[in-house]
Structure 1
Amino acid sequence: MPKLLIVDDDIHLRKLVLTYAELDGYQCEEAENGHKAIEKVNNTQFDIVVLDVMMPGLDGFETLGEIRRESQLPVIMLTSRSEEYDKLLGFNLGADDYLAKPFSPRELMARIGAVLKRCGNKSSDKLIFGELCISPGSRAVNIGEKAFNLPPKEFDLLLYLVQNERLVLSREQLLNKVWGYEYYGDARTVDTHIKSLREHLGEYRKVIQTTWGVGYKFEYN
């Protein structure tokens, strides 16, 4: 039974999400603020977190940042703010999905299911390119003896590019496949993630190649 943490200072919203989640077979816990959420994440094994942005004290972005220091746990963010900047900030901090309030509880459950499916269906076989080793099951990347965890969207981008080695993928294809649904924002968000991913890959940055006017591809020579 998947375990869900619902983080929101609005008790009525927490109970609404909890009701729908339990009907769909999830085991749920609640946290009314960011500090409680971090405490629960550090002490309990969750499968996914639904995290509100606008909370007093530690807001959702700060909470996500703290979670990402130690964990690649899938996180879906909720917010009453619809500005594209907020969405990009959430994704750059490592959010797996982003849903604006007011929202349909059924849509939220569908997105939870999609994120879990995407994160849970990774092959456990290692992908090796020279000293670059990618482990889909553990979502870990090694270069030689150096191991590091990529932010979730960067790892998903890398894995999808690797799974389509030598194929040029457009920004729209990457947004649709990696985010798991049609994304209507600025396709340049892919460029931001690719730039950060290349910085993380260091000496292997050149395996992600740009095809000008089209998109990106993974190619190891």
Structure 2
Amino acid sequence: MKIVVVEDDSQIRELIVYFLQKEKYDVVASGDGYEAIKLIAEIKPDLLILDLMLPNLSGIDITKIVRDLPEKYGNPLIIMVTAKTETDDVIKGLEAGANEYIRKPFDPRELIARIKNIMKRTGKKINKQIEFGDILIDESKYIVYENKNEVELSKKEYELLKYFIINKDMILTREKLLNEVWGVDYFPGDRVIDVYVGKIRGKFKILGENLKTVKGVGYKLIEKKF
């Protein structure tokens, strides 16, 4: 998912970007209203996170421009982030076309939760990329790449790989893997895990080195500096 963050306070802007990138979102940031509107036209993001008070163009100005010209700027969801707490400011932002309003100071985890909630509420699909070394999973296309080359995987290979990467550096028991990847109502036996681990190890060089067997327990995908 592509996100444009517009915040003139550099510390807050960097904090927001840091937490969004941890969630594997594609993020571009700006601290200026004029620059932001150019970025939005170029990127056509899925989501805007806008401060209300900005140099040159306010968050409300940007919202109105974007909403008036969807053919130029796309139709992003908009979350306004501001220190202004008067009810009139909230109403103005929402009437201009913002979908959500969050007040400063805020916990970045709250912002992430708000983003996920607004996506769920509006039905807009969250497209994320998951990376591990030279492996990239594009969830929007259900495709996996290694060094930018597409790797063909079965449905269960894809789900098992994704589960290992999401839970990297954790010891995952065979029972846990069966429950989470195959489902609690399907018990093909521990052997199926070993077979599928062997399959994905054979398709990705990095897994041969980093996906470790924990004897008598299960597996652990170890993240090293790449």
TM-score tier, shorter chain, comes to 0.5 to 0.7
Mapped to 1, the partners of 2:111 and 2:102 lie a distance apart of: 8
Any idea what the Cα deviations from partners look like across 1:65-112, whole Å, max 9, x if unmatched? 111112331000011110000000111011000001101100011111
1:56: Cα distance to partner? 2.1
Mapped to 1, the partners of 2:100 and 2:52 lie a distance apart of: 12
Matched, 1:100 2:103: yes
Mapped to 1, the partners of 2:50 and 2:23 lie a distance apart of: 19
Task: Find the residue that maps to 1:54 and give its secondary structure.
Answer: coil
What RMSD over aligned residues (CA atoms) do the two structures have, in Å?
A: 1.4
Mapped to 1, the partners of 2:3 and 2:95 lie a distance apart of: 22
Structure 2 letter corresponding to 1:98: Y
Partner of 1:27: 26
Any idea what the Cα deviations from partners look like across 1:36-83, whole Å, max 9, x if unmatched? 111111111311010000112211111111111123310000111100
Partner of 2:83: 80
Structure 1 letter corresponding to 2:15: L
Partner of 1:55: 54
The 5 Å alignment of 1:198-209 reads: none
Any idea what the Cα deviations from partners look like across 1:103-147, whole Å, max 9, x if unmatched? 11000111111112223359xxxxxxxxxxxxxxxxxxxxxxxxx
Any stretches of 5+ residues in structure 2 without a counterpart? Answer: 126-226
The 5 Å alignment of 1:112-191 reads: 112-121=115-124
Mapped to 1, the partners of 2:54 and 2:95 lie a distance apart of: 19
Mapped to 1, the partners of 2:116 and 2:28 lie a distance apart of: 17
Mapped to 2, the partners of 1:98 and 1:119 lie a distance apart of: 15
Task: Work out whether residues 3 and 27 of structure 1, in 8 Å CA contact, stay in contact via their aligned partners in 2.
Answer: yes
Mapped to 1, the partners of 2:8 and 2:46 lie a distance apart of: 21
Mapped to 2, the partners of 1:3 and 1:115 lie a distance apart of: 15
Partner of 2:12: 13
The alignment of Structure 1 onto Structure 2 pairs a total of residues equal to 121
Structure 1 letter corresponding to 2:106: F
Mapped to 2, the partners of 1:83 and 1:121 lie a distance apart of: 29
Task: Work out whether residues 48 and 116 of structure 1, in 8 Å CA contact, stay in contact via their aligned partners in 2.
Answer: no
Partner of 1:39: 38
Task: Find the residue that maps to 1:42 and give its secondary structure.
Answer: helix
**Structure having the higher Rg:** 2
Mapped to 2, the partners of 1:120 and 1:78 lie a distance apart of: 22
Partner of 1:68: 67
TM-score by length of 1: 0.52
Mapped to 2, the partners of 1:115 and 1:51 lie a distance apart of: 15
Mapped to 1, the partners of 2:80 and 2:11 lie a distance apart of: 17
Mapped to 1, the partners of 2:30 and 2:118 lie a distance apart of: 21
Structure 1 letter corresponding to 2:43: T
Mapped to 2, the partners of 1:121 and 1:36 lie a distance apart of: 26
Matched, 1:90 2:89: no
Mapped to 2, the partners of 1:121 and 1:77 lie a distance apart of: 18
